[in-house]
Amino acid sequence: MRVYNLNGRRDNKYKARIKILVHETGTEELTRQVETEWLALKNSDLKLPQTDVDAIDSYFRPPHLPQRPEGWSALAAARKADHSFAAWVDQNVTPHKNPDYGVVTISLKPIGGIPGDATDAQMDLVADIAEQFSQDEIRVSHEQNLILPHVAIADLRIVYDLLLTDGLATANAGLITDIIACPGLDYCALATARSIPVAQRISERFASAERQADIGELKLKISGCINACGHHHVGHIGILGVEKKGEELYQISLGGSGDEVCTIGDITGRGFSSEDIVDAIETIVDRYLEIRTDKEETFLATYRRLGAAPFKDALYSEAANAA
């Protein structure tokens, strides 16, 4: 931050990004500056006193979670009785450190909806659920969803039923309709293309729950300009909206990932018009389904195994045939 504050372009909102500074300074020189600054600071008075560290530590101490082992048998019965509930548990509930609890993702990605949007009534509902069933905690994820971090397995059914009352129980966390989209041209003054309507049309195209489950984990991210607020560069499939000769054009990148093995996606080639972008995404997905070794091999794993060639082949030969 100190190096950025000294040399970054805070004077120009179009250039006030650390990536601009990296680009203009060069990675090696910037690394040298950061290391020099760090060595000078490391043992200086700016070091946080231990009492402050302890205070922060106690403030963020994990809550006391009573044991609730009875939940597992109730969960098994509820899953058996309701296929939709079982699908939601499989997709939107992840393990907690405490085996009697789960971490619930509330998807803000209903089919055809605006990614990440919630009404005031939905927010009130989530606040009430968090108060009653998740130690009064809600987290907002960078994936534009809400997280209830400590829900007892015994309470999952009731939480699901409450979420269902206001359209908040979409079972698509991590699937192709769980799209990250920035505000784009609909709201953002910096945008060069729309993001939200593209996300909505892709979501509608892949609406079938069975089809989404078959495709499995697939992170699709859309940005409406090069600033990349939608993280398209680390999407398994990334879409970047640009403007060319007054038209919105969508560039696709593949194989990006923002997880522990971080990779920047590869640009496939020329972009697609707003009219053609949804077909192009479907072409990529269909090719993946043809070439994966089996259902266990995710889109990203297939891409890492085979690279861009089969996808480019499908995309551009199909486009050429259509022309």
Interface residue list for ligand SF4 (CB under 6 A): 182-184, 188, 190-191, 223-225, 227-230
Give 226 or 306: the residue with its C-beta nearer to ligand SF4: 226
H/E stretch holding 302 reads: helix 299-306
Query: If we measure between CA atoms, which residue out of 214, 228, 215, 224 comes closest to residue 281?
Result: 215
The 3-state DSSP class for residue 201 equals helix
Distance, in Å, from the CA atom of 86 to the CA atom of 98, rounded to the nearest integer, reads 21
> What is the C-alpha R_g of the chain?
23
CB of 112 to ligand SF4, least distance (A): 20
CB of 203 to ligand SF4, least distance (A): 18
Give 113 or 183: the residue with its C-beta nearer to ligand SF4: 183
Distance, in Å, from the CA atom of 152 to the CA atom of 63, rounded to the nearest integer, reads 13
Give 184 or 255: the residue with its C-beta nearer to ligand SF4: 184
Give 135 or 274: the residue with its C-beta nearer to ligand SF4: 274
Query: If we measure between CA atoms, which residue out of 204, 69, 68 comes closest to residue 196?
Result: 204
Give 133 or 250: the residue with its C-beta nearer to ligand SF4: 250
CB of 184 to ligand SF4, least distance (A): 5
CB of 194 to ligand SF4, least distance (A): 9
Helix axes 309-322, 277-291, angle to 10 degrees: 130
Instruction: Please check whether residue 133 is in contact with residue 76, taking contact to mean a CB–CB distance below 8 angstroms.
Output: no
CB of 263 to ligand SF4, least distance (A): 20
